Amino acid sequence: MAYPYQIKSEEQYKEHYKRSVENPEAFWAEIAENFSWRKKWNKVLEWDFRKPKIEWFIGGKLNITENCLDRHLTENANKTAILWEPNNPHEKARSFTYKELFDEVCLFANVLRNNGIKKGDRVCIYLPMVPELSIAMLACARIGAIHSVVFGGFSAIALRDRIDDAGCSLVITSDGAYRGEKQISMKDTIDDALLGCESVKRVIVLSRTNKPISMIGGRDVWWDDEIKAAQNIIGDKCEAEEMDAEDMLFILYTSGSTGKPKGVVHTTGGYMVWTTYTFVNTFQYSPDQIHFCTADLGWITGHSYTLYGPLCAGATTIMFEGIPTYPDAGRFWDIVDKYKVDILYTAPTAIRSLMASGVSWFEGKDLSSLKVLGSVGEPINEEAWHWYDENVGKKKCPIVDTWWQTETAGIMISNLAGVTPSKPTFATLPLPGVQPVIVDDKGNELAGGDVSGNLCIKFPWPGIVRDNYGNTERYRQSYFSTYENLYFSGDGCLRDNDGNYRITGRVDDVLNVSGHRIGTAEVENAINMHTGVVESAVVAFPHAIKGEGIYAYVILKGMHIDEDHTKKDINETVSRIIGAIAKPDKIQFVKELPKTRSGKIMRRILRKIAEKNDDTGDTSTLLNPGIVDEIKQGARNM
Ligand code: PRX
């Protein structure tokens, strides 16, 4: 497959960028021509950030799976689409050619149809990183059902919130999951989540760990049985549903600054064009390469760069079920060596944790196939950047530091591998079509170099979030109300004199723990549910491996047994309400929280204390200035 839109030189980047700003509609129309549409669009773009309403490729008709699968069958039917590496290196790996994947997707799409699922229905997918997860997502897209994939690490309560919010009628899960040495009970979690849930009529269960599980009559069915049944009733062929370019493709929940997760909505045409375009350009993918994105499909990185982007580009993509440190810290290098990986795309937190394990894990591993390295999800610190460059890339692989978000669907700011220069800790330059601006707190645009402020985007790109599921007002408030006529990212950044952007982290109440987005309000709500807690405040603190750790200040009304025990109880509560990923790293019991006279918690002060910075600034305007020294003292004793 050729990519006529692939940028091959720095000059070309500049020229494409200029065109994308001067005439975005012509620019994107030309790129969209490279996809397969049942009917071409009438108009490329209509938008108004004030409403907000954004539409791309208006009137266009397509099915994304015809782009991920069908169109590769003429020339690349036998090319490998997915290479699956199991958690246990001794278990047999699996792989699917484009034709095999096509067949599996059609079969499972018929299973969904046979279970009454039709265009527009919402399907919750809660599966481990097995090929069936990709198959299930694509099968939904094939028949126009909207998938909502929930990461396996979320608790039953978090899962229920997401299922309820989207009004899912069907859930796809497995008996269990393998994760390193652990076995996780996926079905038990689903069973708890579905207690009292009325919308879900059917649960399709894949057998992965063969552990005994409860199967509820009339509701729960086995994946394999359903495949046989659908084959008998419908057969193997599955005509793809015709979708409008702006029909919903999926919902993906992510954290915002309030307690309730946001259902980020992406639609079909723009998402397809954007993820494929950014995949091919950022990583400079060429059709014979092996692409390894380590992200779980439960996150946007997995959606866009393990699945949809690579498959639309006809690439070979690796799905890895396990973790970087199992059975040992050499696992990524084993995989690179085994599959002769060309592109490795991972998160700084993984790099830092492998860095801490030392370089002996590289011994005997051939990494010479690597051409491009990528980083995503959080700022990469200088030390990790150089370690990645020297030990993994052997100083010959460009590193792309890709800044983007669940809401942007694909990479927004990044160097293009080997085409535009990298600069350690800088995401560098915007991709064509992306028009970033830096604003101060009042919304004034800061022009030129050597400036820092809040990162906004002033023009839509094809992958921009289209809605907050079921709550358009929240959509407006989250992204388009802080600054007039701008999309606000929630990130702070600076720009150097060459126009390179460096992302400095969130400026709202969102934490980034091991590259996972977690809202402080969500964690506080969870902590406050513990019977002994009166009030709490959660802030981030710098963490050597996780990037940011969770620091909770908690006012107790009563303790169960002793402090340590109570801390464990609180962690248990947070695990139950959100999931283990949101457990605080540190809990400090306090008598009061520093508050303004109007009762607002002064998080700025709490952040300083958590960072071990004694300079808490002016505290005289507080309702209770005396508490600051007491909290500082408590922090020193921790
Ligand atoms: O703070 C930014 C950080 O991750 C946030 C988005 O998180 P999420 O929606 O979960 O998507 C993660 C995968 C794209 C951003 O607001 N972030 C992401 N990439 C970078 C980054 N921070 C610094 N540098 C990056 N390359």
Which tokens is 310 given? 């690579």
Residue 422 Cβ inside 6 Å of ligand 1? The answer reads no
Residue 402 Cβ inside 6 Å of ligand 1? The answer reads yes
> b/e per residue, 476-507, with b = 16+ CB within 10 A?
bebbbebbeebbbbbbbbbbeeeebbbbebbb
Tell whether 594 and 526 lie within a shared domain.
yes
Tell whether 156 and 236 lie within a shared domain.
yes
Residue 347 Cβ inside 6 Å of ligand 1? The answer reads no
Which tokens is 133 given? 């997860």
Where is the domain boundary, 241, 263, 280? 241
Residue 530 falls inside a structural domain: yes
The structural domain count of the chain equals 3
Whether 284 has a pLDDT exceeding 80, the answer reads: yes
Tell whether 386 and 463 lie within a shared domain.
yes
Residue 259 falls inside a structural domain: no
Mean pLDDT, the chain, rounded, equals: 96
Whether 165 has a pLDDT exceeding 80, the answer reads: yes
Tell whether 91 and 55 lie within a shared domain.
no
pLDDT at position 214 is: 97
Residue 301 Cβ inside 6 Å of ligand 1? The answer reads yes
Reported as a pLDDT band with limits 50, 70 and 90, residue 26 is very high
Tell whether 368 and 345 lie within a shared domain.
yes
Residue 105 falls inside a structural domain: yes
Ligand 1 centroid to 585 CA: how many Å? Answer: 21
pLDDT at position 638 is: 87
Gap between the terminal Cα atoms of the chain: 58
- Taking residues 575-595, what's their average pLDDT? 96
Tell whether 490 and 529 lie within a shared domain.
no
pLDDT digits (tens, 9 = 90+) for 201-210: 999 999 999 9
Which tokens is 366 given? 């051939």
Nearest CA to ligand 1 atom 23: 379
The CATH number of whichever domain residue 591 belongs to comes to 3.30.300.30
Ligand 1 centroid to 543 CA: how many Å? Answer: 17
pLDDT digits (tens, 9 = 90+) for 335-371: 999 999 999 999 999 999 999 999 999 999 999 999 9
Dihedral (CA of 13, 282, 126, 348) sign: negative
Q: Which of 251, 378, 465 to probe ligand 1 with, by most ligand atoms within 8 A of CB?
A: 378
Say if pTM beats, i.e. exceeds, 0.75: yes
Tell whether 293 and 396 lie within a shared domain.
yes
% of the chain with per-residue pLDDT over 70: 100
Tell whether 496 and 615 lie within a shared domain.
no
pLDDT at position 245 is: 98
Helix 268-282 vs helix 24-32: crossing angle, to nearest 10 = 90
Tell whether 122 and 158 lie within a shared domain.
yes
List, in sequence order, the alpha helices (H) in 388-494. Answer: 472-475
Ligand 1 centroid to 377 CA: how many Å? Answer: 4
Tell whether 358 and 449 lie within a shared domain.
yes
Tell whether 485 and 583 lie within a shared domain.
no
Give the domain extent around 385.
10-67+271-469+481-502
Ligand 1 centroid to 11 CA: how many Å? Answer: 28
The CATH number of whichever domain residue 355 belongs to comes to 3.40.50.12780
pLDDT digits (tens, 9 = 90+) for 32-84: 999 999 999 999 999 999 999 999 999 999 999 999 999 999 999 999 999 99
Ligand 1 atom nearest the C-alpha of 427 is: 26
Residue 256 Cβ inside 6 Å of ligand 1? The answer reads no
pLDDT at position 113 is: 97
Tell whether 516 and 592 lie within a shared domain.
yes
Residue 503 Cβ inside 6 Å of ligand 1? The answer reads yes
- What are the CA-CA distances from residue 508 to residues 479, 502, 546 (Å)? 12, 17, 19
Residue 77, judged by CB atoms within 10 A of its CB (0-12, 13-18, 19+), counts as middle
